[in-house]
Amino acid sequence: MSTKPHMIRKCLWPACLMGLLITGILSLDCNLLNRVTWQNLKLLSSMRNSFPKDCLRENKAFEMPQEILYSTQLLKRDIKEAFYEISLEAFDIFSQYTFQSTWKKKYLKRIQIGLDRQLQYLEQCLEEEEKENEDMKEMEEDESKYPGAMVSQLTNLELKRYFHRISSFLKDKKYSHCAWEIVRVEIRRCFYYFTALLRKK
């Protein structure tokens, strides 16, 4: 069965909207992004109580781009845009029908809905900032005035390579139970880093 991730997001939106109505979270305030992200982090942790011992020997270093974590040129908006790309890539990964019996279906549905909400808030947050900061357009038109623009492009390229390594790992391991556990922990670690990075800016 093959379903495109954007179609899954479209199907999940009614459930996500109902969740928003129930919890009363209808504001476009960027601060709500932190709440949703932490909920997803908790969910990624609760999918399994501890890392399976039989998977330790298969652990893999995916080499998350260090220039993202330590760059002094990236603006907060750049980081949010990078986090959007990460969230989208993570949604694509968790929308694959190759989980076998690694996790319960209820966890998969919850993380898909959670990531969809995270993407919605990031989209809204970036749109709000674009409306509030009209001067940003002038900066983006002239990269010489905004050195972070080129850094941002390189960052997105490195992120795509990073997630390509993750996807290749899953494929090479034939989407095994251990491969999925390793990827779950890696994406959770990536989210932690970016949440901390946004707080620093």
Residue 3 and residue 12: Cα distance in Å, rounded? Answer: 13
User: Is the distance from CB of 154 to CB of 67 less than 8 angstroms?
Assistant: yes
Angle, vertex CA 113, rays to CA 109 and CA 115, nearest 5: 115
Q: What is the pLDDT of residue 71?
A: 64
Cα gap 50→181, rounded to integer Å:
10
Q: Which residue has the tokens 């993570």?
A: 90
Residue 20 confidence (pLDDT): 45
Tell me which residue has tokens 């652990």.
Answer: 59
- Burial of residue 86 (CB within 10 Å: 0-12, 13-18, 19+) is buried
31-49+62-137+148-200, CATH topology level = Growth Hormone; Chain: A; (1.20.1250)
126 close to 41: Cβ distance less than 8 angstroms: no
Question: What is the structure's pLDDT at 165?
Answer: 93
| Residues 47-72: tens digit of each pLDDT | 876 788 888 888 788 888 776 766 66
As a whole number of angstroms, the distance between CA 136 and CA 157 comes to 22
Q: Share the mean pLDDT of the chain.
A: 76
Question: What residue segments make up the domains of the chain, in order of their start?
Answer: 31-49+62-137+148-200
pLDDT, tens digit, 9 for 90 and up, residues 90-141:
999 988 766 555 677 778 888 999 999 999 999 888 887 777 666 555 555 5
The pLDDT tens digits of the residues spanning 141-186 come to 554 444 445 556 767 888 899 999 999 999 999 888 888 889 999 9
